Each structure stands twice: as structure tokens, then as C-alpha cells.
Amino acid sequence: MAEVDSADGFAGTPDAFQRLWTPHRMVYIDGQDKPIDAAMTSCPFCHVPERADADGLIVHRGELAYVVLNLYPYNPGHLLVCPYRHVAWYTELTEDERNEISTLTADAFRALTRASDPDGFNTGMNQGAVAGAGIAAHLHQHVVPRWKGDANFFPILAQTKALPQVLGDTRELLVRAWGGR
């Protein structure tokens, strides 16, 4: 749970800012689960499919790619569409992998619409660390549901997002909605 403290008791020059503490974000900032070795044996996107669906937060498995909830979501229902094969660049995908990622992305739009009726979506890939890919070694496409008014001052001022739903509950909603083509 985030905690808000007044700046009055801190060392240094007092200011008017409140402090919103989000220590759970350090896991992401410190790079937990990011591949660190040349062989990429620690790649989370390679290991997630080895887990049970609920444990790995997998929403759907395809033949060449799968859909998983983002552990560090921008919004509830933030999905990642990942090939099983460990490739970094879109140009390294086979035609069949590209087609399945495209199909799963469309299916993700439908499932998210059934589960939570968003007003729109952000979709895309960050290719390379310099372009913002948190795990650049394994390609993944983001599907982020958006609602009117879902942005507030937290992300802008505090690099913090208030999420009203835990990942397990979001996963259950999406799994049920996925099959309702």
C-alpha cells in the first residue's frame, strides 16, 4: 500500500510537496527478472510459458505466441503478446509468428472489450532498449486498454499509477472473456 508523508520532517529545505512512497516499484526499477546473461537463460518471457497459466498470469496460449498480463501495468488489463521463440526484433519473426501475433492482438481487443469495455487502446512494440523496451531481448507487443479520464496527475508528477484491480482478478475476467468470441 502506498503511503503519503508530509515533507515537513525531512532534512533539507522544506517544500510544499507530499511524498507518495511506492516501494514495490523498486522491483521494476532494479530490473528484477530482466535477462542479464548473454545466453538469455533468465528471460522471463521464455520462462513464463513453463508455468501454470494462473501462476504465470497467462491469459491465452496460441501455437506460436501467447498473451500474458504485464506485471507492471499502465492500466488494468495491460496485456503483452509474446512469441514463444526468443527473438528481439520484429524482422526476426517468421511470417506465421507475425500472423499469430496479429491475430492474438485482435483477440485481445475483443476480450478486453468484453471484460471491461474500454474507450480505446494503445498498442505497440518498443524495439530496443533505447526505444523504451524494458526487456529488449524478447519481442513483445503491448495492448493497453484506455478509458476516458483514466489519466490523472500520478503518472505525470509521481511516475505512479493507481490500479483499481489486482492482477489475478484481471486475469480471471480476461480468461472468461477470451473464449466468448
Q: CA 39, 41, 44, 49 torsion: positive or negative?
A: positive
Task: Answer for the pair 161, 25: CB distance below 8 angstroms, yes or no.
Answer: no
Cα(33)–Cα(177) distance, integer angstroms = 29
Catalytic position from the list 60, 138, 140, 142 = 140
User: Closest by alpha carbon to 61, among 71, 48, 70?
Assistant: 48
Catalytic residue flag (residue 138): no
157 class by beta-carbon count within 10 Å (0-12 exposed, 13-18 middle, 19+ buried): exposed
Task: Answer for the pair 15, 7: CB distance below 8 angstroms, yes or no.
Answer: yes
Residues annotated as catalytic are: 140
